Structure 1
């Protein structure tokens, strides 16, 4: 709690164990609205000062043979804003110039005013009020220091926040540059292979348009997720959405919700598009009865966990294995395996194409 608001912050601590000095001083202070606490010995004095006080009144005889070690340690450990004041009541004829012992006490106490007894009551009140005003100025100084410290902390926090924001922005820019380069490389590869394998310009245009749209849909999913990965179910669902026919249930997507990386999302989306395109031309979607099932599971007993995905076609025209692998097959088996850091295999079974994927989820 702030000492300015503390009930003890402006009280006087009195150490005058002999005679009636403590009672007299307490009465005088009470008459002018200053509370006080009398102490029986030096240990009590140090303890009460540590709990909060405006100043202390101490008699010379109370310090003469006392162990001042704890008091000296407390004074040395005061915070920079504090300079605790003492009013030392000396004996008659015991001024500091005639009493070397007082000079030693002056060095220990630091901020001390010597008041020779007997003294006029008004003198003690005046000195006490002066000591209390000085203590209040110390409290004000502390409050200003605390304000400066809090302002410094706020400034430091603001600068740290700006620094983190700048670093985050730089990372985002670097990541964006990386993704743009990867996307352009993917587009370049798709364009080159499509143009190379297409029989006519119209075929090339249609194939290229479909592949770029599939890539775009995958990008849409990742953009909504701030490119922090995507749910595998949504990636596959969006990739196969153009091949769903209203009222028919020829596409079955089944598997647990699992988060996959942006790179895996794009690779799987393109693979789903190529498999679906092939199914429309030659496989399960080339007639009205064929079906496609995409299923997967995740094995969590490994580090990292592994994804096992299976594309299965059934009910379509009999499958004849191709004499040479087209771009779509190469895209799936080579590019997908490379992007996923896993294994991809396409089997042209007579009942339908089967594609299996085994890759780490990381």
Structure 2
């Protein structure tokens, strides 16, 4: 039996690993000798991650929660390493599968290698080249000690080649986040704010802001929101507010008649809004992927992106963090001059199947 331990540390990780677990279960039912153990490090405490979250997205409950939330980056890394070492020693695996770029990804990979367990990184090779982002450090460290890479794009493949990774260790499979999106698209759920705000399809904009570069500097955050409000004509702005951002907004006098700050939404509710919106304004990498697949115009308030395919092939544009840039992009949007987007290779809903096929055919024999 080929044993795979899968690590998840934050809510988006579960969206990425859900289709892999489904593919492993299907493979097992077909007679393949493969099994998994799902470990939640508990890195991010998220009140929305209740039993209904796992049920709605058809995600199995984790076998164990290490409950390593809170503390500084260093404290959290240390807590995850200490607790995961005990977990992996008690439940040895042939392979550790890590996803994304959170602290749990890096910390568990370090533990596995020191216990002589091979590591595979889903979303390996993506780079923003911005070392001020904790996620970029996590990516660099994880990839430097990873044995096998499951990649989302040719850009990621090239990044790995440049760093000296052997071709036979790189598997271009696509994007598991899109597996979940396409599977759950028929289940998107109309949120209460749809009726409360009398929203109509194509006639509102969804906003999300949470990155420190945008929200920690109060005057910057206020200026950004003011610029967005000033150049969005008469459409409602629906802003599910991240708890981090909410604390800062409480101290600011940000008020516009069309700006509606609402509670964070579930995955199914949020994507219902995105799919029907005129556009999304965000600083989230994951949302740029989802918006591109749903062909929704996306304005990213960042100076860099680790997902360039959402720009070259998708519907995303990099606006930057200077609030003065926003006007030009919104004028293009309202003039109807926005790119339509096209298919992104292998972002087709079958990525997890390809990953499990590689595990069964190649990794289990190496």
* Shorter-normalised TM range: under 0.3
> Greater relative contact order: 1 or 2 (C-alpha under 8 angstroms, separation 6 or more)?
2
TM-score, normalising length from structure 2? 0.23
TM-score w.r.t. length of structure 1: 0.23
